[in-house]
Chains A and B, each alone.
Chain A
Amino acid sequence: MEIEVRFYGGFAVAAGTESARVVFGGASLGALLEEVRRRWKRVAELLDGPGKGSAVLVLNGGALEGPDPDTPLAEGDVLSIMPFVAGG
């Protein structure tokens, strides 16, 4: 499956890009994140390191609580990885 992943804030700096098409085996969030971690080591450090509590995953505009790695994904989905956004 191929999914668009968007990075914001420190995650964009860590990934070296603001968005990428990610091809991965499977159709779940867990499988996608595994590929993201493999491809971008510095993003993995942010997702799993001391700052992990600030990472927010947003799928098609809705935040994923938890998030559950079994969350199913479909072609055309957009996953955003961002820090907590507090606005003005």
Chain B
Amino acid sequence: MERGYNNRTLYVNLSTNEIRERPVDRKMKDTFTGGKGFDLWLLWNALPKGRVTGWDDPENEICIACGPLGGTTLYPGSGKSICVTISPLTGSVIDSNVGGFFGPFLKFSGFDALEIQGRADREVVVFIDGETRRVVIEEAGDLPADTHLLVPALGERFGGGNPRSISTVTAGSGADKSLWGHLNFSYYDLARKSFHCKQAGRGGIGTVMRNKRIRALVVRYPKVTPELNAPADLEALKTGGRRYSNEIRELDPKQNEMATIGTTHLVTIMNDHDLLPTRNFQYGSHKDAASMGREAFRKLFHPGFDGCWIGCSVACSHMQKDFQPRTGPYKGQKVWVDGPEYETIAGCGSNLGIFDPATVTELNFYCDTYGLDTISVGTGLAFVMECYERGLLKKEHTGGLELRFGNGEAALELLHRAARGEGFGAIVGQGIRRMKEEFAGRFGADKKLMEDIGMEAKGLEFSEYMTKESLAQQGGYGLALKGPQHDEAWLIFLDMVHGYLPTFEKKAEALFWFPMWRTWFGLNGLCKLPWNDIVPPENKQTPEPAKVMQHVEWYAEYFTGVTGRKVSVEDMITMSERVYNFQRVFNLRQGFGTRRHDTVPYRAVGPVTAEEYESRKERYDKQLREKGITDPEGKGTQEKVAALRKYREDQYEKLKDAVYKRRGWTKEGVPTLEKIKELGIDFPDVVELVRKHQ
């Protein structure tokens, strides 16, 4: 290791059993930094030229990388892994970031990234022994499939009596049958003497893993020290890390209490600002929301220190002990449940009309152990429930399930069936985009209505924020490279509550800066939570409080402390811009990545139905009047819905224009040749591809 880099990656081919190291050169580091950047570059070079690669083609890879700062134990939030593959849901490149010890252990074992290609002819485990740098592909044998059983079994088999020394990546039986498969990344909790997991949830990477017949990836690294990253300036890191950690310890209890209650504080905040998705994103609040908020989970979470990597003072990963599921194959057993976080509460709770923490916890548990993404499951089941309530689906279609909002038993049963790939559950487990086709084709459901209310874009299900009243966040979701996930830009409060983004230019600037800055965390193996979930005392007095610039500057120091490269904030944005534009071009290669793919369902933009309009009548009537759209007086609700829709869809298209311009893209949303050259990503095949779209 030298200044955060090993200067080599690990390649494993499951079809040929080939295992080899690949060099990382200066150009690769300068252009792609690490983490997601390395993943994308490795995948780009691995896929066959001249054709679109399917997610289940053996040439597709799963790439996992940590980043040059990842694995640092002196700085909070420095243990993230970033996973990239061709997604079964979107058909294009997906990235998903996750905590747990795997990425740091992989790095300490000598590899800046891992790429796995091919498909095994039997169930396998890939084992990386970091002490000996021995990599083997082993038969899985009789290892169980579901994560809460599989990970302890892996601990027994590979831990050598020291379970803390290993970390695993697993999916689960549900990922065999559904396209919503996620990856569980484990860490061993010394105090509780048990394994716990964080999830790389989005885009079906777990499905790809199971398609490759990988039961688990295991890495072993027994002794972690602050020196392992071989930083350029260890003392500067110690000083900076101590300063950051002390600030978090002092201020988190006064701010969002993430070390105690995780992200559950968001439930009531979102609810009170009409932003908590309820009943498939129809409404933004519910009288019972507080029953699933911070106070409910404060009582349920098991006390303890819950960082998902060593040295993290945010420590937001909370869990429940001895939970007893009331349904499914593990009914009555006492299990640990890792979570829930806000997204799971909103997706598997309010969005399904469920306000019972026990049901949400059970959905959380089964999603995790089956290896299914709680966000896609929540948003997917919400769509099914609305289809059922509107009569698009009937009981004879659903295998007898009464899929009404609020029916937790039916939601759980549907999840079990989706995980088993059984009957109607098999259709549901393919995701909303395919459900719409199947429901229309098999059951004659109204396709146009489903296009409006099926909350997916680019094939990926929406994460759990209401965007109807925030044009900027519509862009935050719709213009995100991989699909509607909030990790690129969360602008709702800036837009709706603070009113910082009144013009298209301001919105476009935010939709440039925030996605670029947030991308930087994924290049370096970092978690974004310490940046802006705990803010410094004087933050409000700074010119742009939303950017939390004091922390941004600390990250520049951090990067210099590890790599020795002096960087400015602008330099860090440029690092991200290179990778961000490269990913956009990658989408083009897979047949996506143009203006029409940045479309969102109308439910994300405004009220689809008369009931939704009436629920916010005052707000919508006011907008019709003040924007000079039409005089609402004397008009019927459907007429007003139509007028508002025309206006809002036009606004969204104008937002696209402004954002593309700011990002240096054509009107079709394609990076210009000048932009590609300016960023130094003008590789011949990139230029050839981009030129076709100019």
Contact = CB atoms under 8 A, between A and B. Distances in A.
Contacts of A58: 497
Contacts of A61: 273-274, 496-497
Nearest to A42: B254
Contacts of B265: 8-9
B506 to A, nearest CB: 15
Interface in B37-91: none
Contact of A9 (B257, B492, B545): B257
Nearest to A55: B540
Contacts of A10: 253-257
Nearest to A82: B269
Nearest to A66: B540
Interface in B267-298: 268-269, 272-274, 290, 294-295
A14 to B, nearest CB: 8
Interface stretch (A22-30, A32-40, A44-52): A44-52
A8 B533 CA distance: 14
B256 A62 contact: no
B539 A88 contact: no
Best-surrounded residue of A10, A53, A65, A85 (most CB of chain B within 10 A):
A85
Given A50-B537, A88-B465, A18 B256 contact: no
Contacts of A52: 537, 540
Contacts of B533: 86
Interface string B15-32: 000000000000000000
A71 interface: no
Contacts of A9: 255-257, 265, 269
A85 B496 contact: no
B487 interface: yes
Interface in B456-480: 463, 465
A62 to B, nearest CB: 6
Interface string B529-545: 00011011111110001
Given A53-B535, A62-B499, A46 B254 contact: yes
Interface in B574-615: none
A55 B487 CA distance: 24
Given A10-B256, A10-B257, A13-B257, A54 B540 contact: yes
Given A10-B256, A87-B486, A53 B497 contact: no
A51 to B, nearest CB: 4
A84 B486 contact: no
A54 B257 contact: no
Contacts of B499: 62-63
Interface string B351-369: 0000000000000000000
Q: Which of A61, A65, A84 has the most CB of B within 10 A?
A: A84
Nearest to B489: A87
Give the dominant DSSP class at B's interface.
helix
B343 A51 contact: no
Contacts of A46: 254
A8 B537 CA distance: 17
B463 to A, nearest CB: 7
A61 B284 CA distance: 13
A62 B255 contact: no
B305 interface: no
A54 B254 contact: yes
Given A61-B273, A62-B499, A87 B266 contact: yes
Given A13-B257, A61-B497, A87-B490, A51 B269 contact: no
A88 B486 contact: yes
Interface size class of B (residues with CB under 8 A): 35 or more
Nearest to B275: A87
B390 interface: no
Most buried by A among B256, B274, B294, B539: B256
> Which of B254, B265, B290, B493: most chain A CB closer than 10 A?
B254
Contact of B490 (A6, A18, A86): A86
Most chain A beta-carbon neighbours within 10 Å: one of B272, B290, B486, B492: B272
B80 to A, nearest CB: 15
A48 B419 CA distance: 52
B343 A88 contact: yes
Contacts of A12: 294
A48 to B, nearest CB: 11
B269 A8 contact: yes
B250 to A, nearest CB: 8
A80 B254 CA distance: 16
Given A9-B256, A61-B273, A87-B492, A51 B497 contact: no
Interface string B480-512: 000000110010110011110000000000000
Contacts of B290: 18
By CB atoms of chain B within 10 A, which of A12, A14, A53 has the most? Answer: A53
Interface string B423-456: 0000000000000000000000000000000000
B342 interface: yes
A51 B253 CA distance: 10
B537 A54 contact: yes
Interface string B320-358: 000000000000000000000011000000000000000
B143 interface: no
B521 to A, nearest CB: 13
B140 interface: no
Contact of B498 (A53, A63, A88): A63
Contact of B254 (A56, A62, A83): A83
Contacts of A63: 493, 497-499
A58 B498 CA distance: 8
B496 A88 contact: no
Nearest to A13: B257
Contact of A85 (B251, B463, B487, B493): B493
Contacts of B255: 9-10, 51, 54, 83-84
Interface string A63-88: 10100000000000000101111111
A84 B539 contact: yes
B256 to A, nearest CB: 5
20 contacts: A9-B255, A10-B257, A12-B294, A13-B257, A18-B295, A53-B537, A53-B539, A54-B255, A54-B537, A61-B273, A63-B493, A63-B497, A82-B269, A84-B535, A86-B493, A87-B493, A88-B263, A88-B342, A88-B463, A88-B490
Given A53-B536, A53-B538, A83-B255, 9 more contacts: A9-B269, A10-B256, A50-B250, A51-B251, A63-B497, A82-B269, A84-B532, A85-B256, A88-B342
The 9 lowest CB-CB distance pairs between A and B, nearest first, are A87-B490, A83-B255, A10-B254, A86-B532, A88-B486, A53-B540, A53-B537, A63-B498, A51-B254
Interface of A: 6, 8-10, 12-14, 18, 46, 50-56, 58, 61-63, 65, 80, 82-88
